[in-house]
Structure 1
């Protein structure tokens, strides 16, 4: 019951933070001049006119309007939801791959200290590679794969790129958690003739849960970001990434439309992190010392 209350409290805090952000948006729009604030040729604050920063209520109203002038065109909200579900599915596949890879790396680095010294710097270094440069390589590499009767689809490349971002926080968080048991606890298992495998399952993995849950939530959010960026970079259609690009092309004549898609992308990241956060209810018995 306490886990449910904690989840509701976090959801309430997130809702309040969203409302505060919307209020600040309108305050900035009301206070900052339409042309922005400039110091010589440098721009200190951006333009706040209706074309650059539409009102919040205009964006919300645009969600309920038709996407285009076609008779059977869906509403912007319907199109955004459809694209968000598509991207969420790919992001969850990438998240699952990243979790498996991150956990395996963490177990490897915990088991052998030399592996930690050899692998961890490369794990950190891997996150410095820009996705824009990585995406075309992954698409080209995937196109040369032969999976028998299966064909490598473009969405698989997007999922692989999403897993690339998701595995890092999982690997680091899991390693920190697996190393968290005290020397006395480890010695107690050794005194009972417990091998490395039993110690891993009965001691280290339960001790890693408080460290792993925040890493899983962060990995879910980064997987969504990776999926959105990869959709744009690889040209994958049907997702929220391509929808943002498509709507941005109409920004000059319909300024609220791109912001509606961006709002959907932001909510998508929160939903992904919230869904993964439900794992905390299942594993609440191990969360007595959860860290952030």
Structure 2
């Protein structure tokens, strides 16, 4: 009975493999819906390279599904291999260089925002008056559109990667602050009483009890901040005039969208992949740090 009961659990795929399969299935479903919508309501098309000259005329015509508004998946894939300009390198090389540049800015903003968020969360957790006085302003800072703040930061700090990193940090620090505060307050009161009964100092309680208890909360916020830091870096590049990053590529290809919509869509896809890569990177660090401290079921 024991062998029979343990066989199904042993044959199950690892959680990471199941997550990868689920992700690929979702991507496949999106592509099927995308091309299915194009098949039913897009522009007519003809496969000239096919010896039979296959031609398709959709039964409906929906403007939003036209090739200009929503190009075919294969058109976007083809755009990666085509040069962005005459006699220039292929688009995939340009976007790779831009992705690396933006990732460095996002990483700098991620580090700045993460440290600032942890510092604020730690202060809020230990100084109740400071929390009550400053938390409303921290929350209010996130209600101001980043697109309105970005030009001001560029004016103050001048155009450059530092100003972009600050804009990225602006979007990063808030979730880290909130989750750090929640995590540092998460230990059971009986555990705190036990530490106090042994005359443990505030510093000892912080690093021996509160900080380990807060790690899952902190890493959850860091995974969120990883993606928002990329968004902040791209937004920061738009008013700063930086052309080496993905923000500059988006501006450039948006100007020539009519002549090549696939290039802008390819840039959007690469931007999303940078955010996914950063998220996975933080998740791997989380698993490495927390694997020996908490059960696997608690590590997201």
Question: Would you call these one fold, judging by a TM-score over 0.5?
Answer: yes
TM superposition outliers: structure 1 runs of 4+ over 6 Å:
none
What corresponds to 2:19 in structure 1?
Answer: 10
CA–CA distance in structure 2, aligned partners of residues 19 and 201 of structure 1? 45
Give deviations 1:14-61, integer Å, cap 9, x for gaps.
Answer: 333222222222223233466xxxxxxxxxx86101111101111011
What corresponds to 1:237 in structure 2?
Answer: 243
Give deviations 1:177-209, integer Å, cap 9, x for gaps.
Answer: 111101011111111111111111011111011
**Is the counterpart of residue 137 in structure 1 residue 143 in structure 2?**
no
Structure 2 counterpart of 1:107, from 102, 117, 122: 122
**Is the counterpart of residue 285 in structure 1 residue 300 in structure 2?**
no
Higher relative contact order (CA 8 A, sep 6+): 1
Provide the aligned length of Structure 1 versus Structure 2.
Answer: 269
Is the alpha carbon distance of 1:286 and 1:14 closer, same or farther for their aligned partners in structure 2, counting shifts above 3 Å? Answer: farther
Specify the SS of the correspondent of 2:97. helix
Structure 2 counterpart of 1:55, from 72, 97, 104: 72
Structure showing greater Rg: 2
User: 1:5 offset after TM fit, Å?
Assistant: 4.2
**1:210–1:286: 8 Å Cα contact kept in structure 2?**
no
**Structure 1: gaps spanning 5 or more residues:** 35-44, 144-152
Is the deviation greater in 83-92 or in 9-18? Answer: 9-18
CA–CA distance in structure 1, aligned partners of residues 127 and 244 of structure 2? 44
CA–CA distance in structure 1, aligned partners of residues 141 and 164 of structure 2? 17
What corresponds to 2:210 in structure 1?
Answer: 204
Is the alpha carbon distance of 1:124 and 1:239 closer, same or farther for their aligned partners in structure 2, counting shifts above 3 Å? Answer: same
What corresponds to 1:160 in structure 2?
Answer: 166
Structure 1 counterpart of 2:269, from 256, 263, 266: 263
User: 1:291 offset after TM fit, Å?
Assistant: 7.5
Specify the SS of the correspondent of 1:286. coil
Give deviations 1:47-78, integer Å, cap 9, x for gaps.
Answer: 101111101111011101111112xx111111
**Is the counterpart of residue 23 in structure 1 residue 32 in structure 2?**
yes
After TM superposition, the score normalised by the length of structure 1 is 0.86
**2:287–2:299: 8 Å Cα contact kept in structure 1?**
no
**Is the counterpart of residue 251 in structure 1 residue 257 in structure 2?**
yes
Is the alpha carbon distance of 1:64 and 1:212 closer, same or farther for their aligned partners in structure 2, counting shifts above 3 Å? Answer: same
After TM superposition, the score normalised by the length of structure 2 is 0.84
CA–CA distance in structure 2, aligned partners of residues 214 and 12 of structure 1? 22
User: 1:233 offset after TM fit, Å?
Assistant: 2.2
CA–CA distance in structure 2, aligned partners of residues 223 and 247 of structure 1? 22
CA–CA distance in structure 2, aligned partners of residues 235 and 5 of structure 1? 45
Is the deviation greater in 73-82 or in 281-290? Answer: 281-290
CA–CA distance in structure 2, aligned partners of residues 114 and 228 of structure 1? 36
CA–CA distance in structure 1, aligned partners of residues 286 and 37 of structure 2? 37
**Structure 2: gaps spanning 5 or more residues:** 1-12, 44-61
Is the alpha carbon distance of 1:131 and 1:205 closer, same or farther for their aligned partners in structure 2, counting shifts above 3 Å? Answer: same
CA–CA distance in structure 1, aligned partners of residues 75 and 42 of structure 2? 19
**2:102–2:245: 8 Å Cα contact kept in structure 1?**
yes
What corresponds to 2:56 in structure 1?
Answer: none
User: 1:165 offset after TM fit, Å?
Assistant: 0.3
Is the deviation greater in 18-27 or in 61-70? Answer: 18-27
Is the deviation greater in 21-30 or in 270-279? Answer: 21-30
